[in-house]
Structure 1
C-alpha cells in the first residue's frame, strides 16, 4: 500500500501557514505587540514582523503608534491590531413573513440593519426583490459599497445540505427553493451562504446568546413552526441532506401531533375558546365583546399570542389554561430533543421567546417525567434577531477560513 506523497513545506507555504496563525490570533484579540505575538505563536521575531508586514499590505492588519514594551528596554515594540473594517459581512434572515438584514464589521458588530415584510409575496421573484431592497438599504445606511462586502450568510426555513442546496420534500420548504442565493450573487457580486434558519440560530446563541460556553446545545425556534438547530461538542449537526434537527417527526409524538409552534398553538386555542359564547375571559375585550345570545365569534378571530400571554400575566384563568396546555406540549417537544441528542441546554428562540418565559417553570417541572436526562431550558436574549445574528457568524466563519484568498477593497 503506497502512501500519499508528502507536501513539501516550501517557504511560501510556511509563510501562508504563519499568516493564518497570526491573523487568527489578532482577529480574536485586541491590540498586540510583536513580543505578545511571539509568545502566543512561538515564532521568531523576524518571522512575526515579516508576516505582519504582509498582513498590513493585504489590509487585514493595521500598525498602531509604537509603544514601549514593559518586558524590555530600548527600542519601542511594534503594536498591531486586526482591521475590523477591512471588509463587511451580511446576515440575512429570510423568513416566511419577513426578511431582516444585518450589516456587520469583521468583529461581528452591527453597523446597519434593514428589513422588509414578505407577507404579501406571491412569487420567488418578489421575494428576491424585497430581500435585495433590504440589502441595498442596509448598505446605503452605512455608506458601504458592494465591493467591500466579503460574504453574506442567509437563513431559510428549510433544510439545507452542506453544499447549500435546499431540501424540497415538504411543500413549505419548496417556497424557499427559488435560486435566491445565486440571484443575489449575480446582483451584488459576493457569495451567499445558504443555511437552515435553526442552524443559524444555534450558531448565534453559541456566539452571542445564552449558549455561550455551552458546546452541547439545542435551539428550538418556537414561533409559527417548531425547528431545531443542534450542536454537539461545539460542532453544528447537519445530517446527510441537511435534515438534522427537522421536526416533522413531531406528527408521530403523542400529545404534540404537528410541527405548529408556540405562537400558533396559543393563537389557535384562544380562537377556539372564544368561538364558544359561554367562555368567560378578558380576551373578549381585545377582539370585540359579544353580548349574550349573539352569534359565536368565528375561529379566525384576530387574537395574538402576545395578547394571550399578557392576559395570563394579569391572572385570566382561560389564558392561564391555554399556557398550561402549551407548556405541557412544549415540554414533550423539548424531551424528544433530550432523548435524541442529550443537549446540556435547550434555548427557546424566535419572536415569541420572551413571552414564552412564562412557560419555563412548567416545562422544567414536567421534563423529569419524560426523560432521565432533562436539559436546562432558557429563553434566547437575541429576540427576533437570533437567525440574522447567526447568519453574521456563518459569514464570518467563511471569511476567517478564506481570508488569505480574499481580495480586500479599500475605499478611496
Structure 2
C-alpha cells in the first residue's frame, strides 16, 4: 500500500476524532476553545467543525449577544449533537429483559421490561420478547428504528472477548439467540454481546460509585455470584470469557457454593421459619405459607429480629470470604455489590468490613451500587456508546431534530 496516499486521510480522520472527542464531553465551545483543547490550527478546527456539521455530528449555535455594539466578527459556537441518533442497552436475564434507550451523551430517553415465557430454551419466543421490548422502549423514547446506531446486550452467560456466546457453558442455550444475525437484520444495527457482570463493571466505572476507579470488581450477587473485573482500567475476559465467574466456590471453606445474597436469605429464612422460632418473618409472610422472600428477611432484621440479624451476619461473613479471595488474587481498590439486591446489601457492609482484615492483607473498600436493577442495561448503553465513539465517522447519524429549550430525559449518570 502507498502510505503517502493514505496519510492525508489518516490525518483528517485523526483531526475529526480529536475535535469530536472534545465536543462530546463538553457543552458549547468556540473555535478558540477547541484550538486550546486539541492543539490544532484555527483553519483546521473550523474546517473540521464544518465537516462534522455536514455529517450531522455537530450543530452550530447562535452566538450570544452581549450589551452594546459588537465589534468584529462574532465567535462561532459549536455543540455536539447528542440527538444525532440513539443507542440501546439491553439486559437479557433468564426470566426478564430490560431495555434502555439513550441519546449519544448517555441520557436515558426510554425504558421498558418484559418477562419471558417459562420455556427458557425457546429461541424464537425469547427473541420475540426482546424485540417487543425494544419496540416499546423506542416508542416511549419517541425514537424511530433508523435512529439506532448501536445495540449493547448483556447476557447471563459466558461471552468471549470477541462478543460470542461461549457454547457449552452454563445456560448458554437460553442466551444464544441470534441477536447479532436474526433479531434486527432488517435494520442492520451493530449488535454487541457481553456478559452481564462485565457490563455491570462498565456501568459502575462510568457513572456509579466506581467512577474513575482503575482497579475495580463489581459483583452481581442476587441468585448467583458473578463478577466483572477491571484491572488498570481494562475489562478482563480471560481466554474463553470466564474471568470473574468464581465458579469453584464450593471448594472454599465457609462458602460452599455460588449462591448469592437473595438466594441465601430466602433459604435460611425458610429454615428459620420452619424451625418454629419466634421470628418477625412469620408475621411478614402471613398465615398459611412457608415461602420466605429475601425482602422479608431484610425487613425483619431492620426491625430488630434476632434470627434475621443472625442470617445477615452469616451472609456477610460468607461474602467477606468471597471478597477476600478476589482481594488476594486481584488486589482491587474497590469491590461494589450490584444488582437488584444492592440496596438491601448495605446492611451487610459492617460485617464484611469487619471481617476482611482478618481474611486478607489487602482488604479493598466495599460499597453497594446505586444503579439498582438497571446496572447491566446501563453497562450495555456504555458498550454501545463506546462503539459509536470508535466508529462515528463511518456511521450515518439520524437527521437532527430542532433543538429543544429543555430536556425531559434523565442521564445515565444522574
- TM-score relative to the length of structure 2: 0.92
| Conservation of the 8 A alpha-carbon contact between 2:266 and 2:292 | yes
* 1:75 corresponds to which of 57, 73, 76: 73
Q: Over aligned residue pairs, what C-alpha RMSD do you find?
A: 1.9
Distance 1:221 1:353 in 2: 9
The residue that corresponds to 2:14 in the other structure is 17
1:407 lines up with 2:385 in the alignment: no
Give how far 1:174 is off.
Answer: 3.3
1:6 positional shift: 5.6
Could you tell me how far apart the structure 2 residues matched to 1:209 and 1:286 are?
A: 33
Structure 1 SS opposite 2:91: strand
Which of the residues 41, 56, 61 maps onto 2:58?
61
- 1:190 corresponding residue in structure 2: 189
Q: Distance in 1 between matches of 2:195 and 2:329?
A: 20
Residue ranges of structure 2 left out of the alignment (5+ in a row)? 402-414
Which has the higher mean CA deviation after the structures are superposed, 168-177 or 99-108? 168-177
CA–CA separation in structure 2 for the residues paired with 1:110 and 1:214: 23
User: How does the TM-score come out when normalised to structure 1?
Assistant: 0.92
Partner of 1:230: 229
User: Relative to structure 1, is the Cα distance of residues 267 and 37 closer, same or farther in structure 2, using a 3 angstrom cutoff?
Assistant: same
CA contact (8 A) 2:335 2:365 kept: yes
Bigger Cα displacement from structure 2, 84-93 vs 401-410? 401-410
Q: What residue number does 1:177 align with?
A: 176
Match of 2:82, SS? coil
- Deviation at 1:315? 0.7
Q: Do structure 1's residue 312 and structure 2's residue 309 form an aligned pair?
A: no
Give per-residue Cα distances to partners, 1:12-71, cap 9 Å, x unaligned: 3321110011001101111110011111111111111111110000000000113479xx
* Matching of residue 338 in structure 1 with residue 327 in structure 2: yes
Note the alpha carbon deviations across 1:137-167, whole angstroms, 9 max, x for none. Answer: 0111222111110001000011111221112
Per-residue displacement from partner, 1:195-220 (whole Å, max 9, x unpaired)? 00011001100011000121111100
Q: Which runs of 5+ in 1 are unaligned?
A: 291-296
Match of 2:204 in 1: 205
Equivalences, count: 397
Shift of 1:121: 4.1
1:39 and 1:276 mapped to 2: Cα distance?
71
C-alpha distance in structure 1 between counterparts of 2:332 and 2:5, whole Å = 42
Asked if 1 retains the 8 angstrom alpha-carbon contact of 2:56 and 2:400, the reply is no
Partner of 2:132: 133
Within 2, Cα distance between the matches of 1:302 and 1:220?
26
Residues 7/175 of structure 1: CA separation in 2 closer, same or farther (3 Å cut): farther
Q: Is the 8 A contact 1:21 1:41 kept in 2?
A: yes
Q: Does 1:357 align with 2:357?
A: no
Q: 1:51 aligned to 2:48?
A: yes
Q: In structure 1, what is the equivalent of residue 405 of structure 2?
A: none
CA distance in 2, matches of 1:168, 1:272: 36
* Distance in 1, Cα, partners of 2:40 & 2:63: 20
The SS at the match of 2:284 is: helix
Contact 2:158 2:169 in 1 (8 A): no
In the alignment, which residue of structure 1 is the partner of 2:123? Answer: 124
Q: 1:287 Cα deviation (Å)?
A: 2.7
